[in-house]
Amino acid sequence: MANLPLPIAAFVAGLVSFLSPCVLPLVPGYVSLISGVGVEELKDQEASLLGKVMLNSIAFIIGFSIVFITLGAISTEVGQFTARYKALLAQIAGVVIILFGLQSAPARPCTAPINVCTA
């Protein structure tokens, strides 16, 4: 698969994932959930019923795509922001770690030979 163009390799990987024994048994339940009808009714192959299933499936795919494309875009922006201000964020993180360390340090010096003193 290393020699395939990226879109074809992604499609093949998705197809293999879809046909895996963990996913394939879920397909009838998924289709029933999307369409609002049972598997027995889907076997009748009525044109109106198949149209309803296709319309609901396409709407689900569009909604799913919008959600994950939006999440990907937001993640990209957050990543670019953190890359742009990496030095400043590292200094802020260092100060926060020092403050946490000072907060958890004992209020009085520990005189035991083994550090068993509690504040």
pLDDT digits (tens, 9 = 90+) for 85-97: 999 999 999 999 9
What distance in Å separates the CA atoms of residue 14 and residue 2, rounded to the nearest whole number?
Answer: 15
| pLDDT higher than 90, residue 117 | no
Comparing CA positions, the residue from 92, 90, 91, 115 lying closest to residue 104 is 115
In eight-state DSSP terms, residue 26 is G
In eight-state DSSP terms, residue 1 is -
Alpha carbon separation from 14 to 26, 31, 77 (Å, rounded): 15, 18, 27
Alpha carbon separation from 42 to 19, 35, 111 (Å, rounded): 21, 9, 78
Higher pLDDT, 52 or 9: 9
Percent of the chain with pLDDT over 90: 29
42 within 8 A of 53, measured Cβ to Cβ = yes
